[in-house]
Structure 1
Amino acid sequence: MDEFAYKNFYDTVGKMNGWDFSKVKCHTEGTAWNFYDEVVQSCKRSDLLLDIGTGGGEALLNITEAALLLVGIDISSGMIETANRNLTTSQKMNVRFLQMAAENLDFPANFFNVVSCRQSNFSANQVAKVLVPQGVFLTQQVSEDDKLNIKQAFKRGQNFGITDGTLKNKYIKELTEAGFSDIHSFDFVTTEFYETYEDLIFLLKHTPIIPKFGQYEHDFDLLHTFIAENQTEKGIRTNAKRFVIIAKK
C-alpha cells in the first residue's frame, strides 16, 4: 500500500475494530513470546512510557501498572478514537492517547524513559530525540516471510518478494546512525492454525497482509484453493514471523 491507502485502511479498521483480534480462533505452535511482557520488564514504576503505533490501545491498557505515565500515539484517527473509547471504559488514570505521526514526535527532548513500537513505522532519530540518556527502545516488526504461504497463493502481499531480513537490517542501521548503542535483535517464528474460514477472513480483512483483500475478482477463489491445500486437523496452517530489536540510547 502507498502511505495514503495505508492510512485510510487503518482509519477504517480502527473505527470498526481497533487492534483487537481476540475474536479470532487461532492455535499457535512455536516460540512463546509477548512483546509487552518485555516492555514491562524494561520499565520502572516511576518511568514515562511512549507507545508508537498503539492502535486501539488494547496492549497499553493491559500494562498500566508498569509505569507512572503511559502515552500511546497513532497516526490513524480511527485507531485513536477506539483507543480513547477503550480508555474511558477502563477508567485508567495514567494513560493518554494522542493522534500523532511517528515521524514528528511532538514531545520535549529527553522526556521518556522507555519507547515501544509494535508493528508500526518509526523514526530512529525521533525516538532518540524523546528518549532520556540510557533510555530503552523496543520494537517488534513483521518479517518479510510472515504469512508466506498466503502471499504465495495470492501472488501479492505485505513485503511480498522482498528478501527476509531487509527491514530488520534497515532499522538496525538507522538506529546505529541515530546514536543508539547496545543494539540486540532476534527473530521468532510460529506456526498458526486458524480454526475456521471465518477466522481467516477476519484476519485478512483487518490487516494489510493481502492489500485490498476481497476487492479483486478472484480473491475468494484463491482463498478457497489456499484453504484446501493448507487445511489440517489442527486448522488452516500458515506462519507468523516477527523480529525484535532492543536498543539503548
Structure 2
Amino acid sequence: MSSMDYKQFYDRVGKHNGWDFSSVKCKIEGEGLELYNEVANICKSGDLLLDIGTGGGEAVLSLAKSVLLLVGIDQSSSMIEAALRNSRAAGAANTRFLQMDAERLNFPDAFFNIVSCRHSPFHADEAARILIKGGVFLTQQVNENDKLNLKQAFGRGQAFDEQPGTLMQRYITELKAAGFSKVQSMPFNVNEYYETAEDLIFLLKHTPIIPNFGQDERDFQILQQFIAENTTDKGIQTNAARFILIAS
C-alpha cells in the first residue's frame, strides 16, 4: 500500500469507528508489552505529551489525567473527528486533537516533554526537534512477522516477505542519527486467539494486515480454510509481533 492508499484506508476506518477495537474478543497468551503503559510510567503532572498517529484517541486518552496537556495528531481527518468525539465523551479538557502529518510537525522547537507513536510512521528528526533536552520518545511498531500464519495463507500482507527486524533496525539507526543518545529496544511476540470468525473478520476489515481484504470473493474462501486449520480450544490462533523503542 502506498502512503495515499493508507490515508484513504484510515479515512474510511475513521468514519466507521475510529480506532476502536474494544468489541473484538481476543485472548492473548504470552508476555507482551503495551506502549501507553510505558508512557504512563514516565509521565509527570506538568508534562506536555504529543501522540503521533493517534487515531481516534481511544488508547492515549487514558493518559490525559497524568499530564498537563495531551496533544494527538493524525493525518486522517476522519480519525481526528473520532478523537474529538471521544475526547468530549471522556470530559478530557486538557486535550487537543489536530490533523497533521508526522513529517512536518507544526510545533515550536523543544516544546514537548514526551512524544509517543503507536503503529504509525514517524520522522526521527522532527521528534528530536520538538522534544526538550532530556525528553523521551517512545514508539510501538508492528514487526514483519506479525500475523505470520495469516499472511502465509493469503500469500500477501503487511511487510510480507520482509526480513524480521528490518523496520526496528531502520528506526534505531534513524533515531541515533537524529541525536538520540540512548535507544532501548523491546521486541515481543505473543499468541492471539480470536473467539469467533466475526472477530477476526472485523480485524481484517479495519486494519491493513491483508491489504484490500474482502474485495475479492476468494479472500473469504481462504479465510474459511485458515479458520478450519487454525481453530483451537482457545480460539482461532495467530500471533502479534511488536517492538517498542524508547529513545532519550
Same fold (TM > 0.5): yes
Question: What is the CA–CA distance in structure 2 between the aligned matches of 1:32 and 1:116, rounded to whole Å?
Answer: 18
Counterpart for residue 139 of structure 2: 139
Moved over 2 A (4+): none
SS at match of 1:12: helix
SS at match of 1:98: strand
The answer to whether 1:241 aligns with 2:241 is yes
Q: Alpha-carbon deviation of 1:34?
A: 2.1
Counterpart for residue 119 of structure 1: 119
Q: Report percent identity of matched pairs.
A: 61
Counterpart for residue 109 of structure 2: 109
Question: What is the CA–CA distance in structure 1 between the aligned matches of 2:178 and 2:127, rounded to whole Å?
Answer: 9
Question: What is the CA–CA distance in structure 2 between the aligned matches of 1:221 and 1:59, rounded to whole Å?
Answer: 33
Worse-superposed segment, 224-233 or 60-69: 60-69
Q: Alpha-carbon deviation of 1:95?
A: 0.5
Give 2:151's aligned amino acid. K
SS at match of 2:144: coil
SS at match of 1:181: coil
State the TM-score, normalizing by the size of structure 2: 0.99
Counterpart for residue 95 of structure 1: 95
Native 8 Å contact 2:176 2:182 kept in 1: no
For 1:46-85, what aligned pairs fall within 5 Å after superposition? 46-85=46-85
SS at match of 1:180: coil
- Could you report, residue by residue, the CA deviation over 1:80-137 in whole angstroms, capped at 9, with x for unpaired residues? 0100011111121101000000000000000000000000000000001100011000
Counterpart for residue 205 of structure 1: 205
- Could you report, residue by residue, the CA deviation over 1:201-246 in whole angstroms, capped at 9, with x for unpaired residues? 0000000000000012310000001001101111000000000100
Counterpart for residue 186 of structure 2: 186
Question: What is the CA–CA distance in structure 2 between the aligned matches of 1:76 and 1:31, rounded to whole Å?
Answer: 32
Question: What is the CA–CA distance in structure 2 between the aligned matches of 1:166 and 1:66, rounded to whole Å?
Answer: 34
Native 8 Å contact 2:53 2:117 kept in 1: yes
The answer to whether 1:11 aligns with 2:11 is yes
For 1:40-51, what aligned pairs fall within 5 Å after superposition? 40-51=40-51
- Could you report, residue by residue, the CA deviation over 1:19-48 in whole angstroms, capped at 9, with x for unpaired residues? 111100101100142211110112111010
Give 2:212's aligned amino acid. K
State the TM-score, normalizing by the size of structure 1: 0.98
Counterpart for residue 164 of structure 1: 164
Question: What is the CA–CA distance in structure 1 between the aligned matches of 2:47 and 2:61, rounded to whole Å?
Answer: 16
Give 1:86's aligned amino acid. N
Question: What is the CA–CA distance in structure 2 between the aligned matches of 1:148 and 1:155, rounded to whole Å?
Answer: 10
Question: What is the CA–CA distance in structure 1 between the aligned matches of 2:55 and 2:135, rounded to whole Å?
Answer: 23
Native 8 Å contact 2:49 2:67 kept in 1: yes
- Could you report, residue by residue, the CA deviation over 1:125-155 in whole angstroms, capped at 9, with x for unpaired residues? 0001100011000000000000000000000
Worse-superposed segment, 57-66 or 115-124: 57-66
Counterpart for residue 128 of structure 2: 128
